[in-house]
């Protein structure tokens, strides 16, 4: 899986050009085309009693976005990259998926909503919906150094969380395709605490040993590609343990597969990859299954 073209979704509130610049390492592995997307929320220009549709507001917001995009595009054009831009009014999920389809991008980059609780509930569910419906990998970008004290390098030290599903194995292949920019990969598996109940100490140890063996095999495949890889087995609640592992190993990115189907409970609260995508402090790269 190669990342040649990415869709950079921004509202100019939580994702700026420096985030995109931190991803330009991907040029070493084939990235040569960036498409910008700014979606103007409908409620900002919607019909209001006494004023009607706020066309002037739409024009103002479009022009403000256009000015930012021209500035960003000039920077990328001068590096010999190809650049495109969309400024649209409407529903974020629909506009992102539509631009993704039109442009046939290899990666969607989107920011994590950083708002009040109620707004986050809705905006967070937009990001979850994109993760859930996208056939394209989604990178939910977060700044590891929001004060800009250090340059962001998200692909430097990723944590690959494996549950052995087809999507997580696809995530592993995706990382191998990025070998030119990774300095080290941490590979982990979480033994879910739900499966530990009613097991003897011996059986738990056996499960750990088996997981460790599989992870070592995965690490060998990374090492054969020239990528240093370190295995970790954790036990507990998967989302919590993945976050913990990313911290303990000072990782710069969490990478995982997303499941093909979601239960009704997950539809409401989000499954593990969706929850990490929205809530984790780490940038999160989520790889959908091939058959979505």
**Interface with another protein by CB under 8 A: which residues?**
35, 66, 69-70, 73-74, 77-80, 82-86, 99, 102-103
Q: Which residue, 99 or 242, is less far from another protein as judged by CB?
A: 99
Minimal distance, residue 269 CB to another protein, in Å: 36
Dihedral angle, C-alpha 92, 23, 69, 97, nearest 10 °: -20
Q: Which residue, 83 or 171, is less far from another protein as judged by CB?
A: 83
Burial of 122 (0-12, 13-18, 19+ CB in 10 A): exposed
Q: Which residue, 101 or 223, is less far from another protein as judged by CB?
A: 101
Q: Are 287 and 137 in contact (CB under 8 A)?
A: yes
Q: Which residue, 180 or 289, is less far from another protein as judged by CB?
A: 180
Minimal distance, residue 103 CB to another protein, in Å: 7
Minimal distance, residue 42 CB to another protein, in Å: 19
Q: Which helix (H) or strand (E) holds 85?
A: strand 82-90
Q: Are 113 and 14 in contact (CB under 8 A)?
A: yes
CA distance 140 to 110: 5
The count of other CB atoms within 10 Å of the CB of residue 176 is: 17
How would you list the strands of the sheet with 284-287, edge to edge? 82-90, 33-41, 5-9, 107-111, 138-141, 284-287, 253-257, 158-161, 185-192, 229-236
Q: Which residue, 102 or 114, is less far from another protein as judged by CB?
A: 102
Minimal distance, residue 29 CB to another protein, in Å: 16
Minimal distance, residue 233 CB to another protein, in Å: 45
Q: Which residue, 40 or 167, is less far from another protein as judged by CB?
A: 40
Q: Are 1 and 107 in contact (CB under 8 A)?
A: no
CA distance 292 to 132: 9
Q: Which residue, 88 or 156, is less far from another protein as judged by CB?
A: 88
Minimal distance, residue 80 CB to another protein, in Å: 3
Q: Are 171 and 255 in contact (CB under 8 A)?
A: yes
Minimal distance, residue 67 CB to another protein, in Å: 8
């Amino acid at each position: 899986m190669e990342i040649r073209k990415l869709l950079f979704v921004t509202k100019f509130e939580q994702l700026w050009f420096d985030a995109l610049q931190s991803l330009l390492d991907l040029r070493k592995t084939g990235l040569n085309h960036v498409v910008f997307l700014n979606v103007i929320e409908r409620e900002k220009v919607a019909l209001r009693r006494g004023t009607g549709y706020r066309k002037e507001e739409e024009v103002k917001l479009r022009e403000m976005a256009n000015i930012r995009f021209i500035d960003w595009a000039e920077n990328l054009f001068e590096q010999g990259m190809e650049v495109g831009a969309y400024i649209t009014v409407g529903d974020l999920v629909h506009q992102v998926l539509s631009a993704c389809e039109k442009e046939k991008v290899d990666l969607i980059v989107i920011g994590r909503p950083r708002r009040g609780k109620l707004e986050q509930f809705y905006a967070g569910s937009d990001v979850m919906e994109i993760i859930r419906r996208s056939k394209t990998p989604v990178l939910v970008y977060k700044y590891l150094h929001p004060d800009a004290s250090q340059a962001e390098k998200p692909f430097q030290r990723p944590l690959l969380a494996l549950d052995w599903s087809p999507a997580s194995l696809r995530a592993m292949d995706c990382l191998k395709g990025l070998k030119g920019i990774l300095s080290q990969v941490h590979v982990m598996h979480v033994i879910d605490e739900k499966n530990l109940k009613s097991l003897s100490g011996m059986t738990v140890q056996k499960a750990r040993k088996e997981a460790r063996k599989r992870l070592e095999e995965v690490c060998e495949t990374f090492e054969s590609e020239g990528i240093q890889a370190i295995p970790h087995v954790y036990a507990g609640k998967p989302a919590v343990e993945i976050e913990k592992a990313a911290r303990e190993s000072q990782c710069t990115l969490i990478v995982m597969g997303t499941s093909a189907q979601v239960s009704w409970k997950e539809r409401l609260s989000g499954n593990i990859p969706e929850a990490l995508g929205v809530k984790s402090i780490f940038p999160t790269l989520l790889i959908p299954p091939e058959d979505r």
